[in-house]
Amino acid sequence: MEKLKQKLSSRKLWAAIIAVIVVLAVTILGEELTPETVAALECVVGAAMAYIFGEGAVDVARIVAEAVKKAYSAAYEVVIEDTETGEEDGNDHHVESQ
């Protein structure tokens, strides 16, 4: 249930759903598809795709940064603070003086 709630709160999912609804509404309710209408639909779908891919790239970058932080902490036994919250990463690593 928690996974479904997480997926339904995804902005990428809702952007895709809205793009599909707009395209279907224009196609079904429109009398005739003029070149201008088709160009407008292409813009809507293109903007939705750009947003979805951009958010996906941000998600990937965040996951990679977290993995690198954990690997660095484990390898060098240091505490790395979260730059956004200022909290430690939860590991009990301490910097050893040399």
Q: By the 8 A CB rule, do 72 and 78 touch?
A: yes
Please check the confidence at residue 94 and state whether its pLDDT lies above 70: no
Query: Which pLDDT score is estimated for 96?
Result: 47
Strands (E), the chain: none
Per-residue CA distances from 57 to 22, 63, 79 (Å) = 25, 10, 27
Q: What is the pLDDT of residues 6-64, one digit of tens each?
A: 778 888 888 888 888 888 888 788 767 788 888 888 888 899 899 999 989 999 999 99
Per-residue CA distances from 89 to 66, 83, 97 (Å) = 10, 10, 20
Give the domain ranges of the chain. Answer: 2-59
Query: Which pLDDT score is estimated for 50?
Result: 92
What is the C-alpha separation between 10 and 8, in angstroms, rounded? 5
